[in-house]
Structure 1
Amino acid sequence: MAGDVRTAAVTSIGSSIFAVLSILVIATIALLVIRYYLPLRTTPAYLLVPVFLALTLPSSIILLVPIDLASADGNDTKHSRGVWLPERVILVAWRITYWLTFMLTWFILPLLGEYCDSGYRDARSRVIYSLRSNLRYQLIALATGIAGLVYFILENGFHVASIKGLVMALAYAWGLTLAIGLMGHGLVALPRTIFRNASVSGRLRRLQAQAPKLKDNLDEATDKLEELEHTVYQLKRHKGGASREQQEWIDELAESSTILDQRPGTAAAVQATNPSIPAVVTDRYLADLTRKLKRARHRKARFVNEWANLVQQAQDTQTILDSSSSKKLDWGRRNPQESSLFGKLSFLTPAMRYKLHMNVLPYMRMGFAGFLGLASILIVWSEIVKSFAPQLSVIGLTVVHHPDSKSGGKVNFAGQLIAAAWLLYMDSSALYAVSDVKVWGNRALVKRQTYAESACWYSLQVAKLTVPLSYNFITLMPPTVYEDTSFHFFLGKLIDLTPLGHGFSAFFPCLLLIPALATLFNLYGKMKGVLGFGVLEDDSEENPSGFGTGGWREGRSLIDREIQSGTAEGTLGLASRGASLDLERDAAATTTPAPRRAERTENRQQPFRDDNIREANRTFNSITNQEEEQDDSPRHFYQDFTERVRNTFDTAEQPEWMKNIGSAFKAPKWMQRDQRDDTGGSGLARWFGGRPEDGRVRL
């Protein structure tokens, strides 16, 4: 007996050391991730510490769940087969991790994000703005909580456990709803992206297809930032009526802008933009202007970084394709640090590098994508069958190696490694969907320039998604295993306190199949196409060149021009990306920023023009586009809508097998085309306006 106690103690010490070292490694990785996106020296501590905890605590759950599985009561016979900790230590770890994550998710990070996004200067005004911004969301949560509290009291009576269970159950339900939707998308999108990138030519084509839209976003962000900076410059010239504090505030905004007072043509540009400055400048107006400036700078920095990465990847991919003739791959860069990880390896010769990028890496990507695709299928299968046949759960079968053995543990060290791998992939899929689904507004992660509000928001998503996915993962195990864990004792019993909570935890994850199938069959894109939000195809017969449609050919032209301008300057041409590619750099300072995207759109349609004609058309389009932007009447919207509907019906071609259907039936007179009307078009199209003359729309 004494020998068994001594062996258990030694094993517990070894497991404790391993757990502490693992937590230190996780904390180091989280700190390196933060350092990649935020400058550590200039980031304030009130932002750095919550973001660090929001990344470290959820990441440690990936370690805590396998340890909890191995530390269950059924594994008391041989703890040496896995990493285990005493039950009391596991329970305390869960309480600390859960409640800190809960506070970060629902209170600290939302308030901190609005505090950083506020444009006020003093801390008191920032706190008031943050509280007001979160008040509506908190009231909605409070109303939902009151309704849930009534249900809990009716089911279990009024106890402290009812209130505690209500809070934890509502937080779990909301987090699981979001996590299931995102994970279902990521389980399909992540393997598919890796598989598509296996083809070098296909990867280049997709990069080129993304270039026009990304360049438009960059130009739009640059125009918006310049407009706001012109407003600040105009405000500085008329700050005489402001108070002393407001004048200092305006001077700080002017010093942080990139517009120089002595630059030729600045005064004319400011007058042309005609910024709307109120007669009385208030603190609220200055705060709103400051907030817009910070968001505009973040938006520009985001698209500058994305454009630079896209051009660099396209250049690398094109270099790989060009090396097919010589069978040797040489990046030819002056700075070898710009190359990829494999390009930094000194022992790789150009011939070996060519074999690696053309033969080895594509097959490795396809194999890895197939492996992840199989894992995604098994996860979806396990989620579906766990509610009615838990013994068929593949995740449970791979983690629990000896479910019926009395001498061996139910979850040994190999099972712990597999459990950590499963949980890591589920969390990675959900987080990949966060970055893949572009519905989060202006929030983005930018290398060393991430906006403070975006950093809070992304760390909040990590903290919000990890806990529900972790508990959902342990429910994929057999009930005899996960019901003995401390995680189930701490969280699961409160979730299962009512029949509604138990049914939600058991059956709601089956809906994972819906977002997975929607992503697999591109239902989102088809819905966008049906509703009229799709992108025009660039390989139409009317426009075989692809220009004017935002296709890959135009993207290739934009990337080539960027590379050529970078070659002439000794850089990648990023210094001049604020101006249009067809504009002279010295003329950008004396023109208003509004026509920049219109000039690029006009130049897409006829890219090979004489310089004089191009300059004349650019001036004409600048005038006409400014006039069109002033037309905000309802007629302009309905004119565009009716024309698109009419074109939809007129240009649709029926298949041959459908042309003879209904020929025996005569259409009503109100649907027949008037023989005296030579305008053409169907009767339905005439409701939305026919064409009395070519090129004109009749309203």
Structure 2
Amino acid sequence: MIRLLSSPSPVGSEIFAVIALLVLSLIVLLILRHYLPLRTTPAYLLVPVFFALWLPATIVLLVPIDLASNASDEATKGIWLPPRALLVSWRISYWLTFVLTWFILPILAEYSDAGYREPKDRVLYSLRQNAQYYALVFGSAVLGLVYFFISYGPSFTSLKGLILALAYCWGLILAIYLMGHGLVAIPRNLVRNSSASSRLRRLQGQAPKLYEKMEDAMLNLEELEVQVSELSKRKTGSARNFQDWIEELSDICNIPESRPRSTLPRADNDGRIVPTVITEKYLADLTRQLSRARHAKSRYIDEWDHLLRDASKTQAILDSAASKKLDLGSSSPGSSFWEKITILTPYTRYLLYCRIIPYLRIFLGGFLALASICIIWSELVKAALPSLSVIRYTVIHHWTGNDDRVGFAGQLIAALWIMYMCAAALHSVTEVKVWRGRALVRRNTAHESAFWYAGQVAKLTVPLSYNFVTFLSRKVYQDTTFYYILGQYVDLTPLGKWFDYLFPVLVLVPVFATLFGLYGKVKRLFGFGVDIGDEDEESQTSYGTGSWREGRDLIERELNGTSISRRLDEAASRSADGRGRTAPILTVPAARNEGARTPFATSPSYRDQPVTRTTPSSRAEILDSEAEDDSFFANLGHRFKNTFDTMDTPKWLQEIGDGFKKPKWMGGNDEAGEGSNRAGRDDSDIRRWFGGDGRIRL
């Protein structure tokens, strides 16, 4: 193999490239299988999404090959291809990625989310939805076209340069911001997760907010299902024209009659649930909302289950410190292949999770933090002092006189640099929650979300790859085919050239914003902001609603099977089976004030449930758990109030009135005194002497 690589013939390199492409194809198929059911997913989704992931992976492979293919001495080359083969590969990869990013994927995404039944109506809806986006893009392109025509005259080269330059600039703006956030978030998460206690605390802090989102998603889906249920009762009027469509919606909902509903249609609101006239647009909108609600529920349930598994596993790791034995129990169906392996003994598993993995995370986090510093430094000095770029010296190894050459080791390092830059940007795509509720769900990702995430992968890979190439010396990257395909059009005008060199300096903005937690500060200051998963630890351990204490109790109830939602489901299943006693109504008393509330008492699914009576001791326990997260003074007031409310009058205090007669100014006579003695606590309470109803108010 080494002899083939060192020979002028590219056969060895071509074999290596073919094997690498096959491996990439297998990896992409495994990724698709993880997020989508391959058998039931339509072909119009699988094929474009596959190429949207596979083509950017080939670009990551082509960049190192392109860097080494322009060497004059074949002995210094690593994996290289002939110029013609390299040019054809770049044209196929780049232009197919360009068409997928800007045309095919956006249209198919709206097509899958249209809600209409007929393909023609779906296509028209998709074109209407994308018309605004394309109008904005073409409006910006007109201004750029005027600038290009004035500078270089009307020609096909000017038009092609405009299209490539605008697409690259827009992709670079998004890529730099997302990469800057990921360069800080990835190493920090690794270092934070090295401590099991801090990881458990963060999971507990995330639990209340995630549980509330899951309850909201379930409530939203139930409201839509009730709307479909009311719609299915329409048998006359305009609803007769859409009976097949309405029956399909009813089959999708599949509401069992025995399931308890938190939202029921009221008699005075029936007319507002379903409009009087049923139209095709209304049914399409209802279908679209129902599909989004079902996937939102699936998303939050999957995230909640994942959080419970992580919390249970982390708690088991903490508990194993005393016994030196770690038993994670039976693996869940959603566990990975490595988690299902049981070849380790409890003691060796304890050593792995408590002694080896934490230090590996710290080491990997420190190593990636150093790599992030190198990337940020190279972005800063690329325009002013390109010779000080750290990445340049890690990639270029073969120096022949004044010529810089890239060998096999440099190709491997270059591929690792590009992969880390793309991973940082894609990590931010999944963490920044501003994408209209889109998410990747294991085996159940929505079709529109799959198209959108695949489009982001294709959109971010090309600008990040070319941005990495500019870290190297001009003698290296200006001789590449990548520069011939894209770079010369970016550098066609001084404006595009300076934008390519100066704009990446703004990577410091997301870096500092993520490093110092500016997102959370802006959100608390103005009441809005970007919702990013890795906020400051202080914001997740504060007192009040959504604190880690509330999350701890919530996780324990779910893991122990005592949560209200699970008990309601079990009660409904028992009543549906008809076995055993009738299911009781399980509720939680309402909170005393708005500040002290539990995730159950205020969750949307149980707000309309009737309130049952509880014993004083149980009421005190519940209120005590509710008031745990209040401020100090509110907590103290609740405890005083609960103490006096649940206190029984002592016997010696009840017998005080037996020896004397109340005067009239105290509102008593013989009959009243006798009544007070009989009543015990009601009329002889000493607290009533000072006015009021016997309650101490703070």
* TM superposition score normalised by structure 2: 0.79
**Alpha-carbon distance between aligned partners in 2 of 1:187 and 1:266, rounded to the nearest angstrom:** 45
| Equivalent pair of 1:211/1:558 in contact (CA under 8 Å) | yes
State the shift of 1:330 in Å.
1.0
1:49-60 to 2 correspondences below 5 Å: 49-60=47-58
What's the secondary structure of 2:235's corresponding residue? coil
**Alpha-carbon distance between aligned partners in 2 of 1:419 and 1:179, rounded to the nearest angstrom:** 18
Relative distance call for 1:240 and 1:411 in structure 2 (3 A) is same
Q: Which runs of 5+ in 1 are unaligned?
A: 567-572, 590-594, 622-694
Q: Which amino acid aligns with 2:425?
A: A
Q: Which amino acid aligns with 2:596?
A: Q
**Alpha-carbon distance between aligned partners in 2 of 1:476 and 1:389, rounded to the nearest angstrom:** 11
| Equivalent pair of 1:538/1:552 in contact (CA under 8 Å) | no
Q: Which amino acid aligns with 1:141?
A: V
State the shift of 1:39 in Å.
0.5
Give yes or no for the alignment of 1:129 onto 2:125: yes
The aligned counterpart of 1:300 is 297
**Alpha-carbon distance between aligned partners in 2 of 1:545 and 1:515, rounded to the nearest angstrom:** 25
Q: Which amino acid aligns with 2:313?
A: D
The aligned counterpart of 1:326 is 323
| Equivalent pair of 1:218/1:578 in contact (CA under 8 Å) | no
State the shift of 1:355 in Å.
1.2
Give yes or no for the alignment of 1:317 onto 2:308: no
* Partner residue of 1:164 out of 154, 160, 185: 160
State the shift of 1:605 in Å.
3.1
Relative distance call for 1:339 and 1:277 in structure 2 (3 A) is closer
What's the secondary structure of 1:403's corresponding residue? strand
The aligned counterpart of 1:491 is 486
Cα-to-partner distance string for 1:264-299 (whole Å, 9 max, x where unaligned): 888993446745211110110000000000000010
Give yes or no for the alignment of 1:376 onto 2:336: no
State the shift of 1:99 in Å.
0.8
The aligned counterpart of 1:429 is 424
**Alpha-carbon distance between aligned partners in 2 of 1:435 and 1:609, rounded to the nearest angstrom:** 29
State the shift of 1:221 in Å.
0.3
Give yes or no for the alignment of 1:70 onto 2:68: yes
The aligned counterpart of 1:653 is none
| Equivalent pair of 1:337/1:344 in contact (CA under 8 Å) | no
Relative distance call for 1:508 and 1:600 in structure 2 (3 A) is farther
Give yes or no for the alignment of 1:85 onto 2:81: yes
**Alpha-carbon distance between aligned partners in 2 of 1:564 and 1:490, rounded to the nearest angstrom:** 60
CA RMSD of aligned residues (A): 3.5
Relative distance call for 1:413 and 1:114 in structure 2 (3 A) is same
Relative distance call for 1:224 and 1:391 in structure 2 (3 A) is same
Cα-to-partner distance string for 1:350-386 (whole Å, 9 max, x where unaligned): 1111111111110100000000000000000001111
**Alpha-carbon distance between aligned partners in 2 of 1:455 and 1:231, rounded to the nearest angstrom:** 28
The aligned counterpart of 1:556 is 552
The aligned counterpart of 2:27 is 29
**Alpha-carbon distance between aligned partners in 1 of 2:46 and 2:443, rounded to the nearest angstrom:** 13
State the shift of 1:515 in Å.
1.1
Among the aligned pairs, what percent are the same residue? 51
The aligned counterpart of 1:224 is 220
**Alpha-carbon distance between aligned partners in 1 of 2:556 and 2:211, rounded to the nearest angstrom:** 13
What's the secondary structure of 2:322's corresponding residue? coil
Cα-to-partner distance string for 1:632-685 (whole Å, 9 max, x where unaligned): xxxxxxxxxxxxxxxxxxxxxxxxxxxxxxxxxxxxxxxxxxxxxxxxxxxxxx
The aligned counterpart of 1:650 is none
Relative distance call for 1:446 and 1:177 in structure 2 (3 A) is same
State the shift of 1:331 in Å.
1.6
Q: Which amino acid aligns with 1:33?
A: I
The aligned counterpart of 1:289 is 286
Q: Which amino acid aligns with 2:27?
A: I
The aligned counterpart of 1:278 is 275
**Alpha-carbon distance between aligned partners in 1 of 2:205 and 2:67, rounded to the nearest angstrom:** 47
Q: Which amino acid aligns with 1:294?
A: S
**Alpha-carbon distance between aligned partners in 2 of 1:135 and 1:608, rounded to the nearest angstrom:** 43
Relative distance call for 1:243 and 1:9 in structure 2 (3 A) is farther
**Alpha-carbon distance between aligned partners in 2 of 1:178 and 1:439, rounded to the nearest angstrom:** 13
* Partner residue of 2:509 out of 501, 510, 514: 514
1:105-504 to 2 correspondences below 5 Å: 105-242=101-238, 245-260=241-256, 262-263=257-258, 269-271=264-266, 274=270, 276-333=273-330, 335=331, 343-405=339-401, 410-504=405-499
**Alpha-carbon distance between aligned partners in 2 of 1:136 and 1:434, rounded to the nearest angstrom:** 23
What's the secondary structure of 1:279's corresponding residue? coil
Relative distance call for 1:413 and 1:564 in structure 2 (3 A) is same
Deviation larger for 81-90 or 366-375: 81-90
| Equivalent pair of 1:82/1:416 in contact (CA under 8 Å) | yes
**Alpha-carbon distance between aligned partners in 2 of 1:267 and 1:92, rounded to the nearest angstrom:** 60
State the shift of 1:81 in Å.
3.7
State the shift of 1:79 in Å.
4.7
| Equivalent pair of 2:389/2:471 in contact (CA under 8 Å) | yes
The aligned counterpart of 1:531 is 526
What's the secondary structure of 1:324's corresponding residue? helix
Deviation larger for 37-46 or 396-405: 396-405
What's the secondary structure of 1:85's corresponding residue? coil
State the shift of 1:201 in Å.
0.4
**Alpha-carbon distance between aligned partners in 2 of 1:182 and 1:348, rounded to the nearest angstrom:** 39
Cα-to-partner distance string for 1:320-346 (whole Å, 9 max, x where unaligned): 11111111001232x476666655444
Task: Find the structure with the greater CA-based Rg.
Answer: 2
Q: Which amino acid aligns with 1:285?
A: Y
Deviation larger for 491-500 or 272-281: 272-281
State the shift of 1:470 in Å.
0.6
Relative distance call for 1:603 and 1:481 in structure 2 (3 A) is same
Relative distance call for 1:118 and 1:24 in structure 2 (3 A) is same
What's the secondary structure of 1:605's corresponding residue? coil
State the shift of 1:244 in Å.
5.1
Q: Which amino acid aligns with 2:23?
A: V
**Alpha-carbon distance between aligned partners in 2 of 1:337 and 1:94, rounded to the nearest angstrom:** 42
What's the secondary structure of 1:242's corresponding residue? helix
**Alpha-carbon distance between aligned partners in 1 of 2:276 and 2:372, rounded to the nearest angstrom:** 60
Relative distance call for 1:66 and 1:579 in structure 2 (3 A) is farther
| Equivalent pair of 1:475/1:482 in contact (CA under 8 Å) | yes
Q: Which runs of 5+ in 2 are unaligned?
A: 577-585, 613-696
**Alpha-carbon distance between aligned partners in 1 of 2:73 and 2:303, rounded to the nearest angstrom:** 55
Relative distance call for 1:7 and 1:419 in structure 2 (3 A) is closer
Q: Which amino acid aligns with 1:214?
A: L
**Alpha-carbon distance between aligned partners in 2 of 1:294 and 1:404, rounded to the nearest angstrom:** 61
**Alpha-carbon distance between aligned partners in 2 of 1:539 and 1:393, rounded to the nearest angstrom:** 36
The aligned counterpart of 1:605 is 596
| Equivalent pair of 2:66/2:80 in contact (CA under 8 Å) | yes
**Alpha-carbon distance between aligned partners in 2 of 1:397 and 1:315, rounded to the nearest angstrom:** 46
What's the secondary structure of 1:120's corresponding residue? coil
Relative distance call for 1:304 and 1:270 in structure 2 (3 A) is same
**Alpha-carbon distance between aligned partners in 1 of 2:464 and 2:520, rounded to the nearest angstrom:** 27
Q: Which amino acid aligns with 2:66?
A: D
| Equivalent pair of 1:545/1:553 in contact (CA under 8 Å) | no
Aligned length in residues: 593
**Alpha-carbon distance between aligned partners in 2 of 1:310 and 1:185, rounded to the nearest angstrom:** 23
Q: Which amino acid aligns with 2:506?
A: L
Relative distance call for 1:238 and 1:265 in structure 2 (3 A) is farther
**Alpha-carbon distance between aligned partners in 1 of 2:420 and 2:64, rounded to the nearest angstrom:** 14
